[in-house]
Amino acid sequence: MTTSISSQVISLGSLLRCGDSYVVPPYQRNYAWDEGQFGVFWFDISKTFTGAAPEYFLGSVVINNSQAPEHVVIDGQQRLITTSVLLSALRSHLKSEGLTAMAASVEDFLIKSAPQQKLFKQPCLVLNKTDKGFYENHIFHARPLAEMQRLAEDEHASPSNRLLAECFCFMHRRIGEMRDGGLGIEAIADTIVGSLNERVFVIRIDVKDDYNAFLLFETLNDRGLELSEADLLKNHLFAASRDRLGETQRNWEVMEQDLGSERLIKFVRHHWLSTRGPIGERGLYSDIKAAIATPEDVAAYSESLCDASSLYAALSDPRHHLWGGFPNQQQPAIRNLVEAIEILRPEQLFIVLLAALEVDKRGFLELTRMLVNFTFRYSTICNLSPSAILQPFIGAARDIRETGAARTEELFKKHLATLYPDDSQFHSAFSRKVIRSNAQARYVLARINDHLSAKPSMRTEGDRFATDLEHILPKRHNGSWETSRRDFPGGIDKYVYRLGNMTLISAELNGRLGNADFETKKKVFDEDCLEITQKVLSAEKWTAEEIKSRQNWLASLACKIWRYPG
């Protein structure tokens, strides 16, 4: 391994200005730094501008140089990209002052050298597919600051493209602040370029193949380099795949596209629990590293992850195209259940649902309905131990995979019945429940209202945006609600987030309520009264007793709605 690795300490400016091409491969993540990170980058290197730090070490950059002068960046792309954005912002300031020669000198950092003078300049940094076009069109070919500011706030742009624009605006602003401090732009340019060339350093580590690069990654991590569990897993799989690296990389890229970097490791964990069983004491990464070690193992495992990633993504997206493949009569119910999962976030049930989607879609609707009702009782309302249901969920997933069928009644009896909160336990917990999440409170009240309503026009299921959540005793109550301690024992704030203090009202009418007193609210409620709100009209005043009474009534209804068997 050591004969295929070399390293040198080099200034960041020399690394960029050597004229080589640095390529971010497709499997590497998109640009991900926000102001918290590129702000620290600026703060650190700017110490060398003022002499507060004579030099600064920026860490290591790992490069596969087997196809030189085109180098593949294995680690360090975020720092290289951020540096190039800083230089682009500096060039923008110089051009705005008509300093074209100095701007061209700064631009030398950003372009790839060629044996002959070329008509079109090419960037020395080539980003991945998501960011390549944006970087070349807007960072490399400098766009006006006003356009970059607009792009930084463009909700239709990809998140990484917006971050690139935000970084440019940040760097442009910081250089502008230096100018406001009395420095001329030529002096600023000399200072920044001088620091990059002489005072900001990296360790450039060159390897001959990706295998050694990934092994190096793990070695560095063992010695204290902070890498995420997802990075470690990816690097192990890439290293162990050997001659099947391209296949593994493609599978990983699809998985990242389906899930994004934030949900990826949670998916891998749930997939492992669903297919392999409990995780050992040393953790997920260690278990996978021990079990998935040969190129054949890696190829098969990465393919199984790739196939399952779209299914997992669908479990958090009621609009996912997967649900369109179910029978027409099942689709509305499935989408409603998936929306409930997204609101309630009982994510351990993904272990079971993933098995059902992979093995037996015919039983998926009934199984999902049971699991949502079970976890609503167990987790959302009774707040019981999540660790106690992990093993039963793993067991249920294993049974589905071994039998090839998702038999809901059998799975419930075998794995969950002993943990199921009965009506007495559920009613007691519900009658005291405080919910601060508007989405969860609205879900609960909407389900109860639609259970009560015989008329479809009085249900919320047709248009969930037509009604708003209303706190009868307002969250920001004014003097008209300052009642005695006898009315609200323990203080008025104790009751605001009780479910009994909440109802639903049309969005149009809700805008008229504000912090109005109870009598005023009753008059508005009466204009457009859903079933769940009618009981409020019978109250002469609104105190802790009315809230408790109403919540007990809601709890009795909830026992009928969230139950298994239904």
pLDDT of amino acid 172 = 95
Residue 117: pLDDT band by 50, 70, 90 thresholds? very low
**What are residue 209's phi and psi, to 5 degrees?**
-155, 160
Give the three-class secondary structure for 470: strand
Residue 1: pLDDT band by 50, 70, 90 thresholds? very low
Residue 23 pLDDT more than 50? Answer: yes
pLDDT of amino acid 98 = 92
| 177, HSE (Cβ side, Cα atoms, 13 Å) | 8
The H or E element spanning position 203 is strand 200-207
Nearest Cα residue to 73 out of 81, 62, 82, 84:
62
The whole-number average pLDDT for the span 261-275 is 91
Residue 217: pLDDT band by 50, 70, 90 thresholds? low
The whole-number average pLDDT for the span 219-234 is 60
CA–CA distance, 376 with 374 (Å, rounded to integer): 5
Q: Cα–Cα distances in Å, from 532 out to 27, 468, 529, 537?
A: 51, 13, 8, 10
pLDDT of amino acid 226 = 46
Q: What is the mean pLDDT of the chain?
A: 88
pLDDT of amino acid 219 = 58
Higher pLDDT, 117 or 437: 437
Higher pLDDT, 342 or 530: 342
CA–CA distance, 85 with 79 (Å, rounded to integer): 10
Please give the model's pTM, rounded to 2 decimal places: 0.67
Chain segment 372-381, per-residue pLDDT in tens: 999 999 999 9
pLDDT of amino acid 261 = 72
CA–CA distance, 114 with 68 (Å, rounded to integer): 13
CA–CA distance, 253 with 221 (Å, rounded to integer): 23
Nearest Cα residue to 22 out of 32, 37, 12:
12
CA–CA distance, 112 with 116 (Å, rounded to integer): 11
Give the three-class secondary structure for 19: coil
CA–CA distance, 256 with 18 (Å, rounded to integer): 33
Nearest Cα residue to 435 out of 445, 449, 422:
445
Higher pLDDT, 324 or 249: 324
pLDDT of amino acid 268 = 95
The whole-number average pLDDT for the span 522-536 is 85
CA–CA distance, 441 with 435 (Å, rounded to integer): 6
Specify whether the CB–CB gap between 168 and 197 falls below 8 A: no
pLDDT of amino acid 223 = 46
Chain segment 173-201, per-residue pLDDT in tens: 999 999 998 899 999 999 999 999 999 99
pLDDT of amino acid 120 = 65
